[in-house]
Amino acid sequence: MTTGSENELFLYSGGKFERYWARIWSGTRTSLLLALIVSVSDCVLGITVGVLWGYVRKLNNILTEVYNILDNIPRTIILILISYLLRPGMTTKDIDRIGEKTIRKLGGVPNFLHYNGYPASVCVSVNEEVVHGIPTDKRFIEEGDLVSLDTGLIYKGYHSDAARSYVVGQGDPEKVKLVEATKEAFFRGIAAATDGGHLHDIGIAIADYIEPLGYGIVEDLVGHGIGRHLHEDPEVPNFRQRSRGIRLRKGMTLAVEPMINLGNWQVDFMDDDWTVVTRDRKPSAHYENTILITDGAPEILSLPGGLRS
Ligand code: MF3
Ligand code: CO
């Protein structure tokens, strides 16, 4: 039996009970809602972090690549860059200015400038000029010119040296063929340069390729060792020698630089004390890279990875 007051009490406590549960339920609901919000936001956060992480990693990869490129500054990127800018109407001095500025922008120091008194950072040799042409404001590049560019720089204490020849615009097919053969001569030459081989194998490989084409191989100038100095031992001839030359060892760094004439091999030295020209005044081409001797194929230090240009 319940008395009114008991009943009241019961009802009252029942109400309390209900309210109690209602409170717990609403608390739980809030907690569940919170848990849901948290887990959804966690999920969103997780996805966001994941996506961001992906971006960071991608960015990191890109940066690593950029740093790799920057770290390999003694590379011919400078010559490739100039080759895109080569135009009739520019002067050989313009080319030198662009070259020097690019070298310095990349954190290098031009190593030709003031070398034995040489007055520029890039040698620009046009047509019959073989190498060491001195840039000037008076010499304008013309359509069809065969332009040889030679430049180098010091980076982190080490020298690099590289050269390329280009025919500007529409040129004589003879010149184009000469330029291509000179480049190929370089690659034939270095294919013979491996640890344990002999230095003069390089010149033999170049001569084996060039002689049947009827071109002249310049003998008055040669390639060279390179490292802490621009020109180091040994000399690297581009032609046949009687001796086998020194043994090549991995770790050696050489500048291999065939200079190939359309006509015969002979050259003259001009009165400016630098410019070398072909004696028959026919065009000449030059191709050079700084290479590292390894167990296998040499590494081309002056060429951006994978390129063959
Ligand atoms: N590649 C050229 C050579 O080995 C570099 C000449 S540097 C110069 O002869 F300053 F002499 F031009
Ligand atoms: Co050189």
Whose tokens are 């890279």? That residue is 289
Starting from the CA of residue 131, give the closest ligand: 1
Quick one: pLDDT at residue 9? 41
Q: How far is the CA of 288 from the centre of ligand 2 (A)?
A: 7
**Hey, what are 30's tokens?**
């809030």
Q: Whose CA is nearest to atom 7 of ligand 1?
A: 112
Q: How many CB atoms are located within 10 Å of the residue 237 CB? A: 21
Tell me which residue of 290, 39, 270, 31 sits closest to 160, measured CA to CA: 290
Query: What is the CB < 6 Å shell around ligand 1?
Result: 112, 115, 118, 123, 132, 150, 161, 163, 224, 255, 257, 288
Q: What percent of the chain lies above the pLDDT cut of 70?
A: 80
CA distance 290 to 302: 5
Give 73-130 pLDDT, tens digit per residue: 445 567 877 888 899 999 999 999 999 999 998 889 999 999 999 999 999 999 999 9
Identify the residue whose C-alpha is closest to ligand 1 atom 8: 112
Q: For residue 123, which atom of ligand 1 is closest to its CA?
A: 12
Lookup: tokens for 43: 């999920």
pLDDT at site 74? 47
pTM across the whole model: 0.78
Model confidence pLDDT, tens digit, residues 249-272 = 999 999 999 999 999 999 999 999
Model confidence over 139-178: pLDDT tens digits? 999 999 999 999 999 988 999 999 999 999 999 999 999 9
What is residue 204's three-state secondary structure? Answer: helix
